[in-house]
Amino acid sequence: MKSTRKLGQGYKVYYAGEETERNGVGIIRHPDLQENDTEVQCLSDRLMGLKFVNDKRVWHIISAYVPRQGCSEEENEEFKEKLEEYIERVPRSELLVLSGDMNAPVGESSDGFEGVHGGRGFGSRNERLLELAETMNLVVLSTQFEKRRSHLVAYKSGQNETQIDLCFG
């Protein structure tokens, strides 16, 4: 299901999701930038993209909700294929930002992934996610800047903390 609706103060949300509300992704746009939106692609209830022009540059914003552990391997592979296909269609001269719930941490260290990881992450590391970023020529933006620990942690339960909401560019 794909929908668009206005939020308060002129903001607009583009949304793709199931009617069961099991999955869903969205992109919220500031009122001043909406006139530049040129294309919205809903690839699935876990993946959507917004193309727009700003300052004479073409941008692609991808919102992703990676299947969780316990989902079928088929569902994981289908998601990965759709994401890779979308990214491959974006010309190198255009800007790309991939953001969302990646359901995998990138860890503290950049060891082996210096071109992708800035060395300022958190927790354990999922090399598959870093390998995907490397293959797609993306950088984990959230590891490039010094942040307080409280800003790195996306989920906390008891003594368990993780960082799974990431932004790539």
77: number of Cβ within 10 Å: 11
pLDDT by residue, tens only, the chain of 169 residues: 567 778 888 888 888 877 666 778 888 888 887 787 788 888 888 899 999 888 889 999 998 888 877 788 888 888 888 988 998 899 989 998 888 887 777 888 889 999 888 888 877 888 888 888 888 788 888 788 777 776 667 667 787 776 655 666 6
**Angstrom distance (rounded) from CA 156 to CA 53:** 37
Domain 46-168, second-level architecture: 4-Layer Sandwich (3.60)
pTM: 0.78
The tokens of 166 are what?
């990431």
Beta strands in the chain (DSSP E): 2-6, 12-17, 24-29, 37-44, 47-54, 57-65, 95-101, 155-157, 160-162, 165-168
Domain ranges of the chain: 46-168
The tokens of 19 are what?
């009617």
34-43, long-range: CB < 8 A, 24+ apart: 34/10, 40/2, 40/4, 40/14, 41/86, 42/2, 42/16, 43/16, 43/82, 43/86
Nearest to 126 by CA among 113, 111, 107, 154: 107
